[in-house]
Amino acid sequence: MMKKSSFPSLPSAMIAVSALIAATGLVEAADLDQILYASPAEQDVIRPVEIGSGWYLRGDIAYVPSDNVKSRLKGYDWMGEGRGDTKATAAYSGGVGYQFTDNIRGDVTVGYRKMKLSGEPVDAGIWEAMANAYYDIGNFSGVTPYIGAGLGMANVDYKIGYKDSLTGSNLVDGRDTTRLQWALMAGAAIDVTENIKFDLGYRYARISSGDVGNLGSLTIADKGLESHQIRAGLRMTTW
């Protein structure tokens, strides 16, 4: 009598192997599903989102070469028209801005400069508040040329020191007026560090015409104030 083999039959072995392969495939598929269908919340925990990286602070100083101011008696086209040369001076400004895209940014700035006529006791303190927009042309080896334009308001406070030789009182009372101002800019920003840029540029600004002062019953007005500015400053990316 033949002894019964202890090995399973061939069909039974094939069924067992097939079942083992199927079970292994299900486990691998389940693992793959967990990898492919990770929830957005889990992804956010692994990869934090950076917030507010487009904000920057800026500060600038400018050299303002001498220019000229045209004035006239209000109500007259040519009678009493005068011209005065301004002294070279400096201008200061600061503000906050935001980089909307790689090419477009904007900022709001506040600035101050002093204007003084050469050889005359006439000067004016000029405060300005501007909203500016810029187009960054592109970054070329750490240098980003740009163009821009601004619109805002300027407060011009005239101080006039003409005195009456007999009484010592002012002959002309200076006026304090708020006027429209616009500006055009062009320049280049140079990368100093990852978060700091050195900004060098040119700015043309024009303030609309307004009153200078009162001479008795007459009003003296200027025909607008313009300035050509060579500016240098820093822009620092913040939070």
CB 238 within 8 A of CB 55: yes
DSSP H or E run through 40:
helix 40-46
- Cβ partners under 8 Å of residue 3, min gap 6: none
What residues form DSSP beta bridges with 149? 133, 184
DSSP-derived letter for residue 129 is: E
Single pTM value for the model: 0.74
CB 133 within 8 A of CB 103: no
CB 42 within 8 A of CB 201: no
Rounded to whole angstroms, how far apart are CA atoms 169 and 10?
A: 125
Amino acid occupying residue 91: A
Which of 174, 64, 160 shows the shortest CA–CA distance to 113? 64
Q: What is the pLDDT of residue 189?
A: 97
Q: What is the pLDDT of residue 82?
A: 73
Query: Phi first, then psi: what are they for 224, rounded to 5°?
Result: 105, 150
Q: What is the pLDDT of residue 25?
A: 54
Query: Helices (H) and strands (E) in the chain — how many of each?
Result: 2, 13
Mean pLDDT by 10 residues, the chain (239 residues): 48 50 50 49 50 84 89 63 85 97 97 92 95 97 97 96 81 92 98 95 96 85 92 90
- Cβ partners under 8 Å of residue 45, min gap 6: none
Which residue's structure tokens are 């050469």?
118
The CA-CA-CA angle for residues 231, 235, 239, to 5°, reads 160
Q: What is the pLDDT of residue 11?
A: 52
- Cβ partners under 8 Å of residue 212, min gap 6: 71, 158, 160, 172, 174, 175, 220, 221, 222
For domain 55-237, say whether CATH 2.130.10.10 is its number. Answer: no
